[in-house]
Amino acid sequence: MAALTCFKSYDIRGRLGSELNEDIAYDIAAAIADIRGPKTVVLGNDSRESSAALKAALRRGLTDMGVDVLDIGMCGTEEVYFATTHLSADLGIEVTASHNPIDYNGMKIVGPGSRPLDPATEMDSLRQRAEAGGFVPALKKGSVQRVNPRADYAAKVLSFIDISKLKPLKILVNAGNGTAGPTFDVIKAQLHAAKAPLEFVEMDHMPDSAFPNGIPNPLLEENRPRTSAAVRQCGADFGVAWDGDFDRCFFFDQTGAFIDGYYIVGLLAQQALSARPGAAIIHDPRLIWDTTELVEQAGGRAVQSRVGHAFIKAKMHETGAVYGGEMSAHHYFRDFMNCDSGMIPWLLIAELVSRKNAPLRELVASRKARFPTSGEQNFTIAEPAEALKKVEAVLGLEALEISRADGLSLDFGQWRLNLRPSGTEPLVRLNIESRGDAALVAKQLARVTALLDSM
């Protein structure tokens, strides 16, 4: 087989047909069985049109090699994470392209205890074995069992909050026609059974593989206006929008204004440390000053990790961190198998707003003023490494500190930047923050943009 280009830094993503198809999915499944020898594997899929067929190919590859499959149907990625541990499976695979364009798909894979596969060793070995082919089917095929652990999953995520502390709130929820809607319904039913005083307004709630309102990726500015307008129209206390496999959630305040995930990390870090003083908190290198200051103030220990779920989770295990957050709206919890969840954060924010008796807008306003940011800027550049070299060559002499731990980070004292290639898309991502000077952010953003646009 030709080289498999769908293997990325920490998961599998590829363009349908050329980079990922049913034959490739079958070989990946057979390679997993051959290398790791699992007895039982959990399989799930998102709402994309191609996902069910790719999952069927995985199922065939696994069972042909003698592996038993627990199929949990259409679900979010975190439901596969939960089921892998909850059902004591050896492996879990979610077929999803998350927020990628409609002609893409992929897989997220975890091992026992919902641990990610190591990118440098396990994922690379898997790629090599899948490329080699020549699989010999087992004498006895594996079985397939359909299971539904969703109610247990819902109870798990609700265990992160004290329902009795919730005050009456109206929350707008936008599932983006991805997989979040049916799972949210079970969480909502359990909340109402527990007499939680929450009212929900739902939009784009049911899965639809055509994504009539666009690919569910609220990180893109052009995808936010409908949610913003809906929050204002219904008078919600805040709004929540998920990406396609709902392992990320995004927040809108009561005016409909989008809240950058960076500031949510700080809120959740403080909340985690209030229950576990002195614990470690993991953050990524793209934007750091708000998080590190809040963690220090709360008596915690801020630990930096490379971007990406596999790296963050490894660092969570290594440090025993209670919480980890990425500015891209991935939030990781020690008590959720050190995995990321898009459902736990909005529940925690609802509890925080209730406890503080303050609107979400007020909770983040001072932090945004203290550390204004550029918002993530994406550039399509053929040679990302050359872009990083050019920016360092021009700006590096001015920097007080240079780090290449993940992309390029330059600290100039009053402002800093991080520039890094995407691990899943052909993009270079730029983030800039300053110490209380929004005009400085704008000035330096224009400067760096001109450098990148000249390539």
Q: What positions carry a catalytic annotation?
A: 98
Name the token pair of 190.
Answer: 């359990």
By CB atoms closer than 10 A (0-12, 13-18, 19+), residue 148 is middle
Alpha-carbon distance 25 to 19, whole Å? 10
* Cα 47 to Cα 45: distance, rounded to the nearest angstrom: 7
For 179, the token pair is: 């997989």
Q: Where are the beta strands (DSSP E) in 75-226?
A: 91-95, 104-110, 144-146, 169-174, 198-203
β-strand partners of 15:
104
Residue 382 burial (CB count, 10 A): 8
Give the whole-angstrom CA distance, residue 230 versus residue 250.
14
Dist. CA 313–CA 342, nearest whole Å: 15
Nearest to 322 by CA among 262, 363, 274, 251: 274
Instruction: Identify the sign of the CA torsion 80, 85, 86, 87.
Output: positive
Residue 393 phi/psi, 5° resolution? Answer: -65, -35
**Which alpha helices (DSSP H) does 9-121 contain, by range?**
22-36, 51-64, 77-86
